[in-house]
Amino acid sequence: MRVLVTGGAGFIGSHVVEALTAHGHEPVVYDVRADPESDVRNPSTVRDALTGVDAVCHQAAMVGLGVGFSDAAEYVSRNDLGTAVLLTAMADAGVPRLVLAGSMVVYGEGRYACARHGVVRPGSRAVADLKAGRFEPPCPVCGADLAPGLVAEDAPADPRNVYATTKLAQEHLAAAWARATGGTAVSLRYHNVYGPGMPRDTPYAGVASFFRSALARGEAPRVFEDGCQRRDFVHVRDVAAANVATLEAGSAVLPQGALTAYNTGSGDPHTVGEMARALAAAYGGPEPVVTGEYRLGDVRHITADSSRLRAELGWKPEVGFAEGMREFAEAGLRGA
């Protein structure tokens, strides 16, 4: 299979390219890092890149929470306009398969249950609560404490920041393309991806990269809030394998004319504080510092139920948390 990989020179994209090659496919890298003309917002170069292509693995995106709402136009341009240009060219070229790098951020907060009111959806956390160190979202009905759980694909979307909003818009665009063309579209909703080749020293990188960059500078990782935020840290090679499994899935599994979403996580949740401590110990650096700081737009707990991806596509993560953190501690980072 000849597969166009947008963002194929990036962190996740480069691992997807390696995995495709290992499985006997022919990846075609399309990335502004490799060629400044290779921007997904450029209709002519996108059309040229799609020549002879059987499927597209769309990894190109502006990622992370960003540095404020001033980034909004750039996020929308790169993520949503870029996706629209790509999908238009795919429709014109008759390319029938799309795998989209989705994100767990489309859910907003994760799944919560109240002892009295069952499963509930808490609203955005109040600034006054965050300033006071009250980080756990309360039950929106009675104000009681909530128990976090695993979020499934049928959870309602509730994006809490600009990046999350653009990732949800990408899914809607892909669904519209699939309906209009009869194509097959899949969004792999990545959870917290980490591993070799993460970008360093950039406000758009993930928390694992922040901590690893700090250790490389001889500094203690700075953990926001109280460090008890729950996340699902999934290794980049497992994410790449999920892309290959999706591309190789037959029409009996993936419907035509619709978008299918799959959570893509390890299934082994850990707190941000646990991750920082494991990484610092593996690196041999200073212990993390819990700062109590917060970022508006961050959510408290978001962990994946990835059983659907396992059951339907036969994928399973291979890199455990401890093993992955030891490798990540020794791996090199790339420039921003």
Rounded Cα–Cα distance for residues 98 and 214 (Å): 36
Q: Which of 90, 61, 53 is nearest to 174 (CA)?
A: 90
Rounded Cα–Cα distance for residues 231 and 321 (Å): 12
Rounded Cα–Cα distance for residues 56 and 29 (Å): 10
Q: Where are the beta strands (DSSP E) in 170-321?
A: 184-190, 192-194, 222-223, 230-231, 233-235, 258-264, 270-271, 289-290, 303-304
Residue 28, helix vs strand vs coil: strand
Q: Is 256 exposed, middle or buried (0-12, 13-18, 19+ CB in 10 A)?
A: middle
Q: Which of 75, 163, 190, 262 is catalytic?
A: 163
All residues at 6 or more sequence positions from 82 whose CB lies less than 8 Å from its CB, including other chains = 39, 40, 41, 60, 61
Count of CA atoms in the C-beta half-sphere (13 A) of 295: 17
Rounded Cα–Cα distance for residues 120 and 148 (Å): 10
Q: Which residue has the tokens 């109240």?
A: 114
End-to-end Cα separation, the chain, in angstroms: 31
Count of CA atoms in the C-beta half-sphere (13 A) of 145: 3
Rounded Cα–Cα distance for residues 123 and 205 (Å): 26
Say whether 163 is catalytic.
yes
Catalytic residue positions, numbered = 163
